Amino acid sequence: MKPEPADAIATALDQLRSRGERITDARRAVIETLAHLGDHPSAEQLSTSVQETHPSVHRATIYRTLDTLTALGVATHVHVSGGASAYHLASSTHRDHLHASCLACGRIVDLPGDLLDPVVSRLSNEGLFLLDPSMVALAGTCEDCLAVRAPS
C-alpha cells in the first residue's frame, strides 16, 4: 500500500517547482530522507539521517527547509507533547490522518482523520472554540504498549 518513495519525492519536488521554489541539494536531501524514512521523525532525527547521506547539509538548513515545506503544505508537522516536532511528507496516501504520541514508547501513531469531527462540531455549535484537528497532539498509549502492559 505504501507508495514508492520515488513517487512521493517526485510529487514533493513538483510541488516546490510549481510554487516557484528552488530545488537545491539540501531540499532534495530533506525530501528524500523524509520519503525513505516513511516515519514521523523529529527535525533533529531527520537532521541526523540527512547527514549520513549528505554530510554537507547543515542542521539549521534542515529546520529552515522543514519550515518552508510546511508553509507550502508539502510537509506537515505535529508538535508532540513536550518533545520535538514530528514531520512527514503530506503525500496523498497519508493525507488527513491525525497523530497521537505514545507516552510509553514515544512513537507517533496515525489515527483516523475523522476522529475529531464530532468534537469540532460540538465546540463549533456551542460557540466555544474552533478546533483545528491537524494541530492537535493526541497522547496516550499505543496498542503495542497496551499489549505489553495488559497481556490477555
- What are the beta bridge partners of residue 116? none
One of 83, 105, 124, 129 touching DNA (CB under 7 A) = 83
Contact between 27 and 7 under an 8 Å Cβ cutoff? The reply is no
Residue 103 as a binder of its own copies (CB under 8 A): the answer is yes
Residue 127 as a binder of its own copies (CB under 8 A): the answer is yes
Largest CA distance in the chain: 55
**Interface map 49-88 toward its own copies (x if CB under 8 A):** ------------------------------x-xx--x---
Give min distance, CB of 83 to its own copies, in A: 8
Amino acid at 71: A
CA 59 to chain centre: 18
What does each C-alpha distance from 110 to 7, 38, 95 come to in angstroms? 21, 12, 11
The binding site for DNA (CB under 7 A) comprises 17, 21-27, 42-44, 56-61, 63-65, 67-68, 82-85
